[in-house]
Amino acid sequence: MRQFRNVIFWAHLLTAIPAALVVLVMSVTGVLLTYQRELTAWADIRGLNGSPPAAGAARLPADVLMQRVTAAEKGKPTTLRWHAGPERPVEVAFGREKTVFVNAYTGQVLSAGSRGVRGFFRTVVAWHRWLGAQGEGPARDRGKAVTGAANLMFLFLVVSGFYLWWPRNWNATALRNVLVFRRGLPGKARDFNWHNVIGFWSAVPLFLIVLSGVVISYRWAGDLVYRAVGEAPPPPTGGGASAGARGGKGDAPTLTGMEALRVRVERQVDGWRSITLQIPSEADKPVAFTIDRGDGGQPQKRASLSLSATGEVEKWEPFAASTRGRQVRSFLRFAHTGEVAGLAGQTVAGLVSLGAALLVWTGLSLSLRRFRAWRGRRRERPVPGPDSPGDSARPRGRTPRALIQVQEPETSA
């Protein structure tokens, strides 16, 4: 058992060293992204919220709103999002390029969002996912490959680390060393204590975060999620966005009769917080809506509804009606950021990301201390002189094997 533990220890150590820097980058950026959605929304609509223009004022119909937006903005809108709060502006997205915020009662374009905050988070996301690479291209592909490999190594580190954490002797002293932060410890003992305590208390959420990161990074990992619950993985989608999603050229969409459909959607779900319309590219296609009772990062509170032009239900798919594979895959996507559990989950994810950064620091510190101790032992090894017995029978420059003290790898301080 000791030999197996030593194998795991050295595998843990040799995996951690090459992955350390990338894991540190992903951990620090993960902390910065903890409240990305909330901070972006706050910055986008800061100063835009207010009371309706007059008591009892009605929101503009979707088609009138669209006419006023397209008259003021270039491009082809792809989605409209209404919020339940009467003072909240309507969000009109032009693909991924931009989003404008519009007064729901007058159709006036109020803002294009906070460029500073959005730009900051765009840079942080680029470092988190692609090591700073911006835009499509080989650099981004290389960054994605590196972060994906680091996620795989980190997953092994989390699992093997928990095995190495497991105390050999279950007594009060051993448990105190690996469960509770202790004050006044010297450097090596402090690093050992911090590494074990942080590793234990963050093990479960960190495992979910890293596992979901692997699923996000690799198509084969996402397919395994479906196979694990006995489902066939869905076919891969096209790599490029549609012309509408890219904000391509063409006539501005008309939304005649869309207001009646929006009112119909409002009645579908009580307690909705936002309704998003995917603007149809063709008049005869079903109109797709997304109804969200959460904050945008909780798939279990989201449902999709497709209506015909006459208001008949073409497809109604709440979260509970999804296949088990899709449910688990959606859960893992938002478990990575903690959003699946709301603000509390995001806070836990942020704290665990901070803990991961400290695990890198303490792990590297322990590794450097071990390396320095190893070098010190090598300097202290006796070197045979020319008059040593049997020296003439040995090749010069070699140290007698009997004089080399083999140091067993340690798994504790």
**Tens digit of each residue's pLDDT (9 = 90 or more) over 309-324:** 888 999 999 999 999 9
> What is the spatial order of strands in the sheet that 313-318 belongs to?
109-111, 98-102, 90-94, 79-83, 274-278, 287-292, 302-307, 313-318
Place of tokens 């109109």: 287
Of all helices (H) and strands (E), which one includes residue 314? strand 313-318
Mean pLDDT over the full length of the chain: 86
Q: Helix (H, G, I), strand (E, B), or coil: what is residue 54?
A: coil
pLDDT of res. 245: 43
- Contact call for residues 307 and 313 (beta carbons, < 8 A): yes
In this predicted model, what pLDDT tens digit does every residue of 350-407 receive, in sequence order?
999 999 999 999 999 999 998 888 888 888 776 665 655 555 454 555 444 443 333 4
Mean pLDDT for 118-132 is 95
- Most distant CA atoms of the chain, gap in Å: 106
Helices and strands (H and E) in the chain: how many? 12, 8
pLDDT band at 43 (very low <50, low <70, confident <90, very high): very high
Q: Among 293, 339, 333, which residue's Cα sits nearest to residue 36?
A: 339
pLDDT band at 283 (very low <50, low <70, confident <90, very high): confident
State pTM to two decimals: 0.83
pLDDT of res. 404: 37
In this predicted model, what pLDDT tens digit does every residue of 182-207 receive, in sequence order?
998 998 999 999 999 999 999 999 99
CA dist 278 and 272 (Å) reads 17
Quote the tokens at residue 50: 């207010």
> Which segment, 33-47, 74-88, 350-364, is predicted with the most confidence on average?
350-364
Give the pairing of strands 287-292 and 274-278.
antiparallel
CA dist 203 and 206 (Å) reads 5
Which of 147-161, 294-308, 366-380 has the weakest average pLDDT? 366-380
Of all helices (H) and strands (E), which one includes residue 313? strand 313-318
In this predicted model, what pLDDT tens digit does every residue of 212-224 receive, in sequence order?
999 999 999 999 9
pLDDT of res. 50: 60
Long-range contacts of 201-207 (CB under 8 A, 24+ apart): 201/355, 202/351, 202/352, 202/355, 202/356, 202/359, 203/158, 203/161, 203/162, 203/165, 205/338, 205/348, 205/349, 205/352, 206/158, 206/352, 206/355, 206/356, 207/155, 207/158, 207/159
Q: Among 359, 361, 305, 302, which residue's Cα sits nearest to residue 333?
A: 302
